[in-house]
Amino acid sequence: MVPGSGNSYEVLHGSANTESNITGSIGTATPGDYFALMKPRVMSLVVFTAWVGYICAPLSLPPWNAIMAILAIAAGAGSAGALNMWYDADIDARMTRTRKRPVPRGVVSRNSALTFGIIVGAFSIWMLGLATNYVASGLLAFTIFFYAAIYSMWLKRRTPQNIVIGGAAGAFPPVIGWAAATGEVTVNAVILFAIIFFWTPPHFWALALCKTSDYDKAGIPMMPNVKGAASTRLQIFIYTVILSGVAILPVFTGLAGQTYAIAAFALNTLFIALALQVRRSQAGETARADKASLYAVGTGNRAARNLFAFSMLYLFGLFGALAVDVVIGDVANV
């Protein structure tokens, strides 16, 4: 348990007041509340990277099957998000950043979130298998299980390596997209996985540096809370350097060409520069009451905030450049 996070019952199960707020079904839920359970911002990134993985594959599906595949992957991501909100309702209620989610607010009960997540997940797996193949649907099933059970139920509350290991769940979508088209997983699919895998720690640890007191209050052993801010800043820089090397691999395997190479070089340079700023900053050193907005941070945390914001642009930009390169290559080959 993280020091200062309260007694073990409160950390893992919530106080009586919080528990009554998140288990009682008030009956005021709207379709928008259930959509929020699916973490639409995360889902948009999943859909995008899965689509890029699909179009990068050497084979393709009939248009209707391809649309069904992407929708199934999106639903699978939403299912994992709902299951995560079901299990983490107690700590979500404690964190400023997450306390306005549907379950902590009491508009969706925990049981409803669980039921919704299971039904959507089962449907997404069935739909993907129907539209593509059992390799892709099997990978989607494993990804939902990994995020909901391995990460949410096991890793998140037990180890500061939660984001490192648990990041595999977020790295699977392009692999699933690739497998949907080909029925197999190749070296290039693994490279796409590795890009997101090594991107995840600097992305989330930058956020954690800005929200140390919030994570401490919830009892989540994030890296800054357990190993300290200085160690976290160093690890952010190390992972960013590794990521920069992995991100250029598609050029050497023939998956990408000149457009991607130029974009990757520029994005890697900016990411390393921002990570170096974080390394030299005092981000995470000053304990303070965290505000709901990430951008409402003190001067010392601005370098980490900037890295977190850029990391989203980095991943969209990198995969976007890959998509452009593939499309340009396809047109040139016609």
Q: Which amino acid is at 290?
A: D
112-148 pLDDT per residue, tens: 999 999 999 999 999 999 999 999 999 999 999 999 9
Assign 327 a pLDDT band (cuts: 50, 70, 90).
confident
Q: H or E element: which one contains 18?
A: helix 16-23
Options 3.90.1300.10, 1.10.357.140, 3.30.950.10, 1.10.1060.10; CATH of 1-185? 1.10.357.140
In the predicted model, what is the mean pLDDT of the chain?
87
Q: Give one word for 254, left, alpha or beta, with left for phi > 0 and alpha for psi -120 to 50.
A: left
Which of 39, 319, 3 is closest to 171 using CA atoms? 319
**Confidence category of residue 295, pLDDT binned at 50, 70, 90:** very low
Q: Which residue has the tokens 């690739």?
A: 178
The rounded distance, in Å, linking the Cα atoms of 154 and 152 is 6
pTM: 0.87
- Please state the domain extents for the chain: 1-185, 186-334
Contact criterion met (CB below 8 Å) for 93 and 14 = yes
Residue 22 is predicted with a pLDDT of 55
Mapping DSSP to helix (H, G, I), strand (E, B) and coil, where does residue 334 land? coil
CA distance 9 to 91: 12
Summarize the confidence of residues 144-166 as an average pLDDT. 94
Mean predicted confidence (pLDDT) in 50-59: 95
Residue 7 pLDDT grade (very low, low, confident, very high; cuts 50, 70, 90) = very low
Residue with token string 């995969």: 319
In the predicted model, what is the mean pLDDT of residues 249-266? 94
Q: What pLDDT does residue 291 have?
A: 52
- Count Cβ atoms within 10 A of the Cβ of residue 26 and give its class: 0-12 exposed, 13-18 middle, 19 or more buried: exposed
Structure tokens at 152: 């949410």
